[in-house]
Homo-oligomer: A and B are copies of this chain.
Amino acid sequence: MDDPQPVRRPGGRSARVSAAVHQAVTELVGERGYGSFTVSDVADRAGVADSSIYRRWGSLDKLLTDVTQTRLKARSPMPDTGSLAGDLHALAANVAREITGPDGLAVLRLTVALTGNGEQGLQARDDFLAERARLLQSVLDRARARGEHPPDTLTVLDHVMAPMYIRVLFGATPLTPDYVKGLVDRLL
């Protein structure tokens, strides 16, 4: 007997549909904000049928969570410059570039919005935090192994990441290289 489940090959039609739908969601969140578009809007923009989206994701919220999780997992690897200061400066610059990039605000905003949306949303939020904490921890562990005295993870999140996130979320001011560097210098 054949396996009734469809086989999904990377690079196949399934992957192309997925990429088009993810891109459409990211653009719509960027343009209109969360809560201001429907499954039909996504389908139109991605060039697929509404039913394809419902069949694969089940609901708009599940699709949004999938987009957020996929984006968060695609992060670049942590820098390894040989010193705590070098690593943290590189890390802060990466995060700044990421969240001020074309889809950065959309992903941040989606993560915040999803934390109010039940189990799936909490999962997306926990993935976001766990991913950030894990990457950061590897930098701090390496520093400790070299005999440096790094701050703890939450302190870096509070005083380097949080100010950048809040400035981007509230659109307050641009994240200049001097500003980002200053956050790390101040911490160290």
Contacts of A49 in B (CB 8 A): none
Choose the segment among A7-15, A93-101, A106-114 that binds chain B (4+ C-beta atoms closer than 8 Å).
A106-114
Number of this chain's copies in the assembly equals: 2
Tell me how many residues of A have a C-beta within 8 Å of chain B.
39
A161 near B172 with CB under 8 A, answer no
Chain A at the B interface: SS class: helix
B158 near A116 with CB under 8 A, answer no
A166 near B162 with CB under 8 A, answer yes
Choose the segment among A29-37, A39-47, A73-81, A137-145 that binds chain B (4+ C-beta atoms closer than 8 Å).
A29-37
Contacts A159-B159, A183-B158 given; does A115 touch B34 at CB 8 Å: no
Contacts A158-B183, A163-B158 given; does A112 touch B170 at CB 8 Å: yes
